[in-house]
Every structure is written in structure tokens, then in C-alpha cells.
Structure 1
Amino acid sequence: MTDSDAVLRANETFYAAFAAADMAMMTAVWASDLPVAVTHPGTRPLIGRDEVLQSWRDILESASAVDIICTDPQVQFHGDVAVVLCQEHLNGYRLSASNTYRLTGDGWRLVFHQAGPVAVETPSAAASSSVVH
């Protein structure tokens, strides 16, 4: 298995835990001995394993299952760090997400997750826009 395959498998496990509302699986995905953080849509950054896992516990306990899928995952490597950029489709909404993994003795573990809404452009706005960022 390539590093890219291993990172994508870790990313799939993260979304499987989210979809199944499986806190044990979600806990196992996150690094246990490294600094971790999460920024959920519309919230301040949460820093530290206890705060991050409590936020997931709150989310997962509020539903027996979550309708979420990850599409278009793209992996970028920076040494022993990998970033997966993807689209989340959550309960009918589309979000842009970045998931950062670090290679540990236990394999690739999540150290940062961020997701936020994607602006929807109308066809006329997209055609008339000349601003480049």
C-alpha cells in the first residue's frame, strides 16, 4: 500500500466514524500523542485532544447516524504530514474540508480537521466576475 493509499484509507475511516456516529472509531482516528485541533463550521477553533473529542462526542450523540460523504479527495504530502482536501456532502449541504494527518507509530492519525460552507455562484455572477484571488 502506498502512503497515498494509507492516508486515503485513514480519511475514509474518519468519514465512516462520522457517518456511523461511532465515537470509539472517531477517537481511534485522532492522534493520541500529538497536538490536535478542529474547526467545525461556524465555530471557533477547538484545541487539544480533550476539547476536540468532546466536540465530536456532542456531535455524534446528537444523531444516531449522519448523512455525510467525502468526494474528490486530493492528498498533498509535506514529509510525515499529509493534507487531504475534499468536499463534504453533509445532510444536503456541500462543505469544503481539509484533514491533516501525521504519520505515527500507529499509522496515519488525524491532527486537524476543518470544514466550511462553499459559496454557490450563480451562472451570471461566475461569467461576469473578473476578480482573481
Structure 2
Amino acid sequence: MNKPVFTTALEAEAAFYDALARSDLDAMMQVWSEDDEVVCIHPDGARLVGLHAVRESWRQLFASGVRLAVSVSQRVASGNSLLATHNVIEHVALARDERAPPPMVATNAYASGPHGWKMIMHHASPAPASLPAGTHDGPRIVH
């Protein structure tokens, strides 16, 4: 089976969210870099470092085979020819669930290498309830 080659970080991101929506572990892991320095932090979850830990977390999440409705908006992208970061607002819900899911804020990082663009980091967190997504337009000090 030929592994896909993502020619842009945006292609890799589309494949990531498609795999998430389909609960497809093989497709999900084709998006991730095979380097052992990858990092994944699921909403309210622990920091997972290394490809084995990342794979196992997705395997557990996908074990039920549940299909998800996934949409992404408000992408803020930056980067260069070797590294890209995307900050997005995620809406992830069970497929066919009519209720609007609470938004998540996610940062995805991608590196370009000999096998195309691959995800090296995904960090998703619940969006603060007191701040509707996309409405804060000034600097905010967090540390």
C-alpha cells in the first residue's frame, strides 16, 4: 500500500480531520511524522510524546468505530518551507447529533521532509466559555 505524500501542510491537515471524522487509525497515522519526537495533547488530556503513545491514544479513541462530524474554521497559519503551524477552531460532534458542539481550540504543527508534510504536534483544548471563538482582537498575556 502506497503512503500518501502531502505536498502542503494544508493537505496534511485535511487528511488529519478526514481520518478523525472516519475514526480511521491507519489514515490518521499516515498523517503523523514517524519521528519519535511527535506530541499530541487531546482536550483535557495528558501530554503524549512519541509515535507509540500518539498511535495508542488514537487507537483508544477510535476503538468504538463512532463516526464524527468535524468542521474547522478560523484557521490562522504561519510558517515557511520547512515548518508550518495552524491554529484552528474545531467543532467535533457525534455524527447525526443535531446539538452544536462546544468549540475546541487546536494548534497543529507540520514539518516538511523527504516524505512530504507530516504532523509533528496536535494540541486541542476546550475554548473558554467566557470568550466566544474569534472575538478577541487584542493582545492577551497568558504567562
TM class, shorter-chain normalised? 0.7 to 0.9
Contiguous gaps of at least 5 residues in structure 1: none
Q: Which 5+ residue runs of structure 2 have no aligned equivalent?
A: 1-6, 94-100
- What is the TM-score when the length of structure 1 is the normalising length? 0.83
Cα root mean square deviation, aligned: 2.2
Q: Percent identity?
A: 27
Task: Verify: 1:69 aligned to 2:71, yes or no.
Answer: yes
What is the total number of aligned residue pairs between the two structures? 123
Deviations 1:10-61 (A, max 9, x none): 1111000000111110010000135201011111100000000100011111
Normalized per residue, the structure richer in helix is 1
2:55 maps to which of 49, 53, 56: 53
CA distance in 2, matches of 1:28, 1:95: 23
Other-structure match for 1:84: 86
> TM-score if structure 2 supplies the norm length?
0.78
Aligned to 2:109: 100
In the alignment, the residues of structure 2 paired with residue 57 and residue 27 of structure 1 have an alpha-carbon distance, to the nearest angstrom, of 10
1:117 aligns with 2:119: no
Q: CA offset at residue 73 of structure 1?
A: 1.8
Alpha-carbon distance between aligned partners in 2 of 1:84 and 1:60, rounded to the nearest angstrom: 24
Name which of structure 1's ranges 77-86 and 95-104 shifts more when overlaid on structure 2: 77-86
- Could you tell me how far apart the structure 2 residues matched to 1:60 and 1:100 are? 22
Whether the 8 Å CA contact 1:34–1:111 is kept in 2: the answer is no
Residues of 1 paired with 2:28 and 2:10: CA distance?
A: 16
